[in-house]
A and B are shown apart, each in its own frame.
Chain A
Amino acid sequence: DAKTTQPNSMESNEEEPVHLPCNHSTISGTDYIHWYRQLPSQGPEYVIHGLTSNVNNRMASLAIAEDRKSSTLILHRATLRDAAVYYCLVGETSGSRLTFGEGTQLTVNP
């Protein structure tokens, strides 16, 4: 499965947009890009996924580079409840094939 690279940590202010980057230069043509997040003392939570086109849902937007070697998770207005570890994963999306790295710890300042 393709590896991903994410910053260890990022900070944001409440009610401001947050752009969380992810590099996945070895992604293959059929690999989906997934984002999960993990709040303290909870299991990971699905955020969004996409293949080639940008995707929007009620939680976030996913912007995928044209060459698919990178993507950005966009939280349009960060809230304190968005403070979590955000994981970017690529690959065949059977759970046995998803490799969670260390993710990005997002801190949201009031």
Chain B
Amino acid sequence: DTGVSQNPRHKITKRGQNVTFRCDPISEHNRLYWYRQTLGQGPEFLTYFQNEAQLEKSRLLSDRFSAERPKGSFSTLEIQRTEQGDSAMYLCASSQRHGSATNEKLFFGSGTQLSVL
């Protein structure tokens, strides 16, 4: 079990640039989540996939954000035309969900820290 892997760990960019983050979930997990966390706050849900289908997006996810999970494996989160307010830790989590089970466990990566200058 190699855990959830996120790359890069840190990203510094200038306002207006595009950035892309990658998440590799635990291999047998069918669900993949993206969260955003700012200093002193808990993680906030952004979006999630079940296999390759993106099933839900938070209203926090503006049009500048897009996520993909081709073939239901790794996922990418892209932010276009970054703004200073996008500076945050972006966390990925994966889980194995069976049917209507209501007690799935989330396994988080260490996150990508984005700084927009």
Contacts and interface: CB of A to CB of B under 8 A. Distances in A.
Partners in one complex: yes
B42 interface: yes
B33 interface: yes
B31 interface: yes
Nearest to A31: B102
20 contacts: A30-B102, A32-B102, A42-B110, A43-B4, A43-B108, A43-B109, A44-B93, A49-B105, A51-B103, A85-B42, A93-B102, A93-B104, A94-B104, A95-B48, A95-B95, A96-B48, A99-B42, A100-B42, A100-B43, A102-B40
A91 B111 CA distance: 24
Given A43-B93, A46-B106, 6 more contacts: A42-B110, A95-B106, A98-B45, A100-B42, A100-B43, A102-B41
A44 B43 contact: yes
Nearest to A100: B42
B106 A44 contact: yes
A43 B42 contact: no
Interface of B: 4, 31, 33, 40-45, 48, 55-56, 58, 91-93, 95, 97, 102-111
Contacts of A49: 103, 105
B5 to A, nearest CB: 11
Interface string A11-40: 000000000000000000010100010000
Main secondary structure of the interface of A (DSSP, over half): loop
Contact of A41 (B58, B93, B109, B110): B110
B40 A95 contact: no
A101 interface: yes
A45, A46, A95: most-surrounded residue (chain B CB, <10 A): A95
Contacts of A100: 42-44
B110 A101 contact: no
A46, A96, A99: most-surrounded residue (chain B CB, <10 A): A96
Contacts of B92: 43
B90 to A, nearest CB: 10
Contacts of A95: 31, 33, 45, 48, 93, 95, 104, 106
